[in-house]
Every structure is written in C-alpha cells, then in structure tokens.
Amino acid sequence: QVQLVESGGGLVQPGGSLRLSCAASQVSLDYYAIAWFRQVPGQERERVGCTSSSDGNTYYKDSLKGRFTISRDNAKGTVYLQMNSLKPEDTAIYYCATDYSPDCWVTGISWGQGTQVTVSS
C-alpha cells in the first residue's frame, strides 16, 4: 500500500502559521482524494478537510474555514495543509489519509505517522 508521510509540524506561537505536507515515496497523490485529520491524545480523531482529485474541490470542517486551506502541487504529487491564525486549540497530531478514491469520501485506509503541531506562547 501507499505509505503516506506528513511533515512540517512544530512549535508555533498563537497567530502564527504552518504549512504541512503530505507525500508518498515514488507515488504521486494527484489521483487520490486526500483528507487531513487531527487528534489530541485521549480524544476522538477529527476530520479537518479533504481535497478531491476528480474535480479539485476542497472541503473543510465549518469551524476551520477561512483559517485552513488545502492545496496540491501536482508537479510534486504532494498535498499541503496551510494553517493560519493558529490557536492553542489547534494543538494536535495531524495526519493525512487516503482510501485511493478520487472523491472525498475518505475514511482512511492508508495513514501517515502524523506530525505534531503545538501552538503555544
């Protein structure tokens, strides 16, 4: 199966920005819908958003619209999650996932290992 790898996490102050990347070694993600999730230890995993490959549309959790954006670099076969105006409540482990469908019905067959995002002063 495709092994997804997330990167770009780290420590950022409130109001700051981070861009997370999701990629797979020697495999382009251009043909798959990719979803982003986040999880705080001990809490339920939360769906952040998704990008489809069939029509290029993006979908977001309502409370995150305007701050989080998902994009693709088709030349690199990579998917990004741009996070702006970060808040302490955004602190979580962020994952990307796919089920190899071109449409955003991702439930998660293939997952990355996650990248930690910590928003703190």
Rounding to the nearest 10 degrees, give the CA dihedral for residues 73, 113, 87, 44: 120
pLDDT, position 105: 85
pLDDT, position 53: 93
DSSP for 33-75?
Answer: -EEEEEE-TTS--EEEEEE-SSS--EEE-GGGBTTEEEEEETT
pLDDT, one tens digit per residue, over 24-69 is 988 899 999 999 999 999 999 999 999 999 888 999 999 999 999 9
Rg (CA), the chain: 13
Tokens, residue 92: 């979580």
81 pLDDT more than 90: yes
pLDDT, position 25: 85
